[in-house]
Amino acid sequence: MKKMKEAIPILVLCLALGVWLTGCASSGKGKPETVNCDAKIHWSVTEQAKLTNFGCVLDKHGGQDSLIFTVGLMNPTEKPLRYRVNIFLEDMDKAAGHYVPRKGKPPVIAPGKSANIKIPFIGTKERSKKISVMVTTMDQ
């Protein structure tokens, strides 16, 4: 009984921390409009980013069949930021990531500005039905 009483504050702290982390990870500025992505999508977007669009298409990339994602990202903060976008095709065990912007001096998106990127899954000939999208800042 004594051990249980000692464990309760730790359990409450862990639960509160879990709820807070879940809120931070998924509280981006709303889901973007999706185009040609008939999939169940799990969003984990930092509050320091706003997704402006998200689409996927089967096409050629480098001469190979590919599933290509287009991601639009806006910086709603007051400071220039660089982002990391990760896309996981959970039902295909594939993942890809991209820095946004990829290049630049410095490589950042200015406050209020947007950028669009393409993330290809080369050799993928069909659409995923279960996708996870994660957007973080480089300082996280």
| CATH code (residue 60) | 2.60.40
Asked if residue 96 is part of any domain, the answer here is yes
CA distance 130 to 119: 17
Q: What is the mean pLDDT of the chain?
A: 82
What number is the average pLDDT over the span 129-135?
Answer: 96
Burial (CB < 10 A; 0-12, 13-18, 19+), residue 122, is: middle
Lowest mean pLDDT among 34-48, 50-64, 122-136: 34-48
Q: What does the pLDDT look like over 42-67, one tens digit per residue?
A: 999 999 999 999 999 999 999 999 99
Mention every residue, 6+ apart, whose C-beta is less than 8 A from residue 4. none
CB of 21 closer than 8 Å to CB of 111 = no
This model's pTM is above 0.85: no
- Domain span at residue 128 reads 28-137
Q: What does the pLDDT look like over 76-101, one tens digit per residue?
A: 999 999 999 999 999 999 999 999 99
Asked if residue 23 is part of any domain, the answer here is no
